[in-house]
Structure 1
Amino acid sequence: MTRRTATLIGFTAVLLWSLLAVLTVATAPVPPFQLTAMTFAVGTGVGLFWGLVTGTLGLLRLISWRVYAAGTAGLFGYHALYFSALRLAPPAEAGLIAYLWPLLIVLFSGLLPGEVLRRGHVIGAMLGFAGAALIILGGRGEPGTGAFLGYGLALMCALFWSGYSVLSRRSGTVPTVSVTVFCAATAVLSAGVHLLTEQTVWPSFTGWLAVLALGLGPVGLAFFVWDIGVKRGDIQLLGTASYAAPVLSTLVLVGVGLSPPTWALGGATVLIVGGAALAAQASAGKEVSWPKGG
């Protein structure tokens, strides 16, 4: 598989994540950790099917428990911290801090062997963050209690997912089927948190369809194709391109009538497309590398 193909496969995760918001809305009023447990259970089924189709299911018993622990920490840690942050802090601001993860992926990737961090990568990621800010702050909500703790949890959320993605690159020999166990463990842990902190609410028929769609796509297949992208593709370009997710998500909400079109959406689109173009140009080697020592 070529680096370009792996990058394109990884970007399909961003496309799938753009459906996360509209599908999550359709699952209301299911509480967040119950929803996480249900969708990751479906995602585990996706992984089992993936392993059968690729003939790699038997490799699961050969993978180190340390890999499973790190992967579970990435998936479960990200979602637990994200939900907790949005409960404590204003959701728009907390969401924006959490969405530092693409920028952190770009910056952390410069520490990886064989990777070159260029100005275009950094500037492109910053433009993408500015675009995400326009979208997320445009949906500013009412301030909550414990805001500073919520902001801290949101920052940890960004660190967890960027760390998970960069560490996946370092463990490039670990087969993608390992994500199956990450999903299963996340489902079990989320179910435990749900039973301790939430009241069970079952979805409607439409809600069940949305749960199934979430588990098959944004909370299932997306993690497997993302694994391929960050391990074999251009991780810096993927990090920058990930800022397309909030724009695409908003466009989907506009398309189904759940959100109005705004100038902020147009401005965010320009910033994110421009940032991705800069990163792509840098990845193509059409720009000098970031100088050592500054």
Structure 2
Amino acid sequence: MNQEKKATLIGLCAIILWSLIVGLIKGVSESFGAILGAASIYSIASLFLLFTVGWTRLKNFPKKYLVYGPILFVTYELCLSLSIGYTTTSRQAIEVGMVNYLWPTLTMASMIIFTKTKTNWLIAPGIVLSMAGIIWVLGGDEGLDISQMMTNISSNPLSYGMALLGALIWSAYCVVTARMAKGINGITFFFMLVAFSLWIKYFFSGIQPEVKITLSSISYLVFASSAMGFGYAAWNLGILKGNSTLLAGASYFTPVLSSLFSSIILATSLGISFWQGTLMVCTGSILCWLSTRIKI
């Protein structure tokens, strides 16, 4: 197996690891609380990244990337981890994770708007299908049920709102930093900033939830940190040295894998309407991706 194939395989492993994150973050938050749990995950993940990806000197960072990159990345990771951590049920955590997976569609839309990326008519049904998929997921067992969707959102507007905000921020990060980074990988530094921000929030929030230290809770913490840290490290290697086109296409199936693994990890049964909505989100994302790659 040549180097490119090995790197591509490692990149595909990153997709598997990321698909575990929603269920694992929820599992950690149930034992450590949303803030302390997230702070612990990113602290340990930072160590993993330090020994795998390594450290990039700050003086090597382009100035704009050093300013905008951390702001967008840290804000997104806070939205991601806390939106899941603040959920009250396992089903809600999986739904919030699905809202976050609007980011591929939003990224393509942002690229078209802000970078004038050429596209075709597939972008319209792609965006519509993705949005409809989220409505379908949040509609509960009935599928397309606006009143039930509003009821679900109103039960925890903070989590759903942060998940949507996170999707918007990550799409901006993907578009804005791609040109600014100039090949510099700041993931280790960014993760340390996320951990630092969460510890500051924890110590000044005044919220000290009961911490349940068990073999199960420690296992969740280690697995979640590994999935976070090694996931980013594997993805970075895959994109740089593997088949980036294949990896980009495969990443759009993450919502399906994430829902599957989360339902197993959190022992939550998901109805047919949820899977229908998940497939709609995936299909919409793929159509958006194809809209910039196929001439019609």
Q: TM-score, normalised by structure 2?
A: 0.72
CA, structure 1 residues 256+47, in 2 after alignment: closer, same or farther (shift >3 Å)? closer
1:163 aligns to what?
A: 172
Alignment of 1:32-181 (within 5 A): 32-52=34-54, 57=55, 59-64=57-62, 66-82=64-80, 83=82, 98-111=100-113, 115-138=117-140, 141=152, 143-144=154-155, 147=157, 153-176=162-185, 178-181=186-189
Moved more, 247-256 or 34-43: 247-256
Q: Is the 8 A contact 1:125 1:279 kept in 2?
A: yes
1:110 partner SS: helix
1:193 aligns with 2:204: no
1:244 aligns with 2:244: no
2:214 aligns to what?
A: 204
1:262 aligns to what?
A: 271
Q: In structure 2, which of residues 205, 210, 226 is the aligned counterpart of residue 216 of structure 1?
A: 226
1:23 aligns to what?
A: 24
Q: Is the 8 A contact 2:76 2:169 kept in 1?
A: yes
Q: Is the 8 A contact 1:5 1:233 kept in 2?
A: no
Runs of 5+ unmatched residues, structure 1: 289-294
Partner deviation per Cα, 1:153-208 (whole Å, 9 max, x = no partner)? 554333221111212322242322x1100000110110010111221525422211
Letter in 1 for 2:47: G
CA, structure 1 residues 88+273, in 2 after alignment: closer, same or farther (shift >3 Å)? closer
CA, structure 1 residues 42+193, in 2 after alignment: closer, same or farther (shift >3 Å)? same
Separation in 1, partners of 2:131, 2:7? 24
Q: Is the 8 A contact 1:34 1:191 kept in 2?
A: yes
Separation in 1, partners of 2:181, 2:8? 14
Runs of 5+ unmatched residues, structure 2: 142-148
CA displacement at 1:116 relative to structure 2: 2.4
CA, structure 1 residues 266+33, in 2 after alignment: closer, same or farther (shift >3 Å)? closer
Q: Is the 8 A contact 2:105 2:288 kept in 1?
A: no
CA displacement at 1:10 relative to structure 2: 6.2
Q: What value does the CA root-mean-square deviation take over the aligned residues?
A: 4.2
State the aligned residue count.
277
Separation in 2, partners of 1:283, 1:77? 28
CA displacement at 1:131 relative to structure 2: 2.9
Separation in 1, partners of 2:278, 2:99? 19
Separation in 2, partners of 1:172, 1:220? 20
Q: TM-score, normalised by structure 1?
A: 0.72
Separation in 1, partners of 2:8, 2:121? 20
CA displacement at 1:227 relative to structure 2: 5.6
Give me the identity figure in percent.
Answer: 23
2:109 partner SS: helix
Separation in 2, partners of 1:35, 1:16? 18
CA, structure 1 residues 137+7, in 2 after alignment: closer, same or farther (shift >3 Å)? farther
CA displacement at 1:68 relative to structure 2: 3.6
Separation in 1, partners of 2:161, 2:286? 32
Separation in 1, partners of 2:15, 2:181? 20
Q: Is the 8 A contact 1:30 1:202 kept in 2?
A: yes
Q: Is the 8 A contact 2:10 2:235 kept in 1?
A: yes
Moved more, 32-41 or 4-13: 4-13
Partner deviation per Cα, 1:198-223 (whole Å, 9 max, x = no partner)? 21525422211211111121x22333
